[in-house]
Amino acid sequence: MKTVLVTGASGFVGGHVVEALARNGIRPRCLVRQSSRLDFIREWSPEFVSGDITSPASLESAVEGMDGVVHCAGVTRALSVKDYWRFNVDGCSNLYRACLAKNPAVRRIVHIGSLAALGPSAAGIPVQEGQERHPVSNYGSSKLAGQRIAEAHMDRLPVVILIPPAVYGPFDRAFLGLFTCAKRGLAPAIGREERWVSLIYAKDLARAVLACLESEKAAGKEYLLEDGHPHAWREVTAAIGQSMHTSPVRVRIPLMLAKLAATVIGCAARCKGKPTFFDRDRLKDFLQPSWTCSSARLRTELGFAPKYNLAQGIAETCRWYTEHNWL
């Protein structure tokens, strides 16, 4: 594979995919918008192509001549259900239609899904591929609808769906808040219940994308991805504290207070016209006791093993935040 189009290349996940492609001798073509920040991908000297996943015409020229496509563009926060649908669902239709029209011989398309689309796990039982899906937020429902579009194209295009849980690493703003709290000696946790999560370090996610692009076996498959162990929330905040040489004190945020805060922050976001990661809709995701999954299929079929455990990934993330003055 010589050339790969990356949608969402200016984002957190897409940026890591661009880096991994470039490091492995594959030339990335980055779909970007006028407003996209390019600081973190410019150093990989990719080709830039201007486009928008809501504009089918721009996608047709972007996919032409590519050996592969990695679809990372989407929104993880939005002001309305309509917006989630426009970007996470219609955007997928537009891209796969453009591939059928202008590049039906594309060798591989990697669709980045989300564990939020499959729904939370039952206590102690990690989610696996092929299970019944029950998203709890508008974000999760829109990601499921996007995934269904990818699945519906599998008979005509060599699509593989890679489904990460929460991703952390350099350039991510969602986990940054936890590091900032740890710096102040605090480890926030919502409610009394211990919560469980699967996680993946962004560099391992990018390596999994490469495996999906290159393996003959991957087309037409769905793969969940995680770092090998479910993590109690306590373990995550402790690892963050350790990376910063602090022992943050656990601060329990009562459920009612979390709901009130999400309502206020959500309203403020709507007034400003700027979506937030912490509103009443996304709170439904955060309140689930368990978001764990198993990457057994990815390991067995593609031989993929993560390189980073939680402590290593968190330590590297902390170093990056510090070096880039994000902390």
Ligand X SMILES: NC(=O)c1ccc[n+]([C@@H]2O[C@H](COP(=O)([O-])OP(=O)(O)OC[C@H]3O[C@@H](n4cnc5c(N)ncnc54)[C@H](OP(=O)(O)O)[C@@H]3O)[C@@H](O)[C@H]2O)c1
Total residues in contact with ligand X, by rule CB under 6 A: 27
Instruction: Please give the Cα distance from 135 to 260 (Å, whole number).
Output: 23
Interface region with ligand X, contact rule CB under 6 A, candidates 28-36, 227-235, 279-287, 309-317: 28-36
Interface region with ligand X, contact rule CB under 6 A, candidates 4-12, 235-243, 244-252, 305-313: 4-12
Which position has the token pair 């390019």?
38
Shortest Å, Cβ 241 to ligand X = 21
Both structure tokens of 117? 């689309």
Which position has the token pair 């939680």?
310
Length of the chain: 327
Q: Which parts of 74-93 interact with ligand X (CB under 6 A)?
A: 74-76, 87
Shortest Å, Cβ 210 to ligand X = 16
Q: Per rule CB under 6 A, is residue 41 in the interface with ligand X?
A: no
Nearest to 163 by CA among 217, 127, 134: 127
Which position has the token pair 């709290």?
181
Burial class (CB in 10 A: 0-12, 13-18, 19+), 39: exposed
62, 166, 283, 310: which one binds ligand X (CB under 6 A): 166
Q: Per rule CB under 6 A, is residue 114 in the interface with ligand X?
A: yes
Interface region with ligand X, contact rule CB under 6 A, candidates 42-50, 70-78, 263-271, 304-312: 70-78
Interface region with ligand X, contact rule CB under 6 A, candidates 3-11, 100-108, 149-157, 304-312: 3-11
Amino acid in position 19: E
Nearest to 48 by CA among 65, 62, 58: 62
Other beta carbons within 10 angstroms of residue 145's beta carbon come to 18
Shortest Å, Cβ 92 to ligand X = 9
Contact positions vs ligand X (CB under 6 A): 7-8, 10-14, 31, 33, 35-37, 52-54, 72-76, 87, 112, 114, 143, 164, 166-167
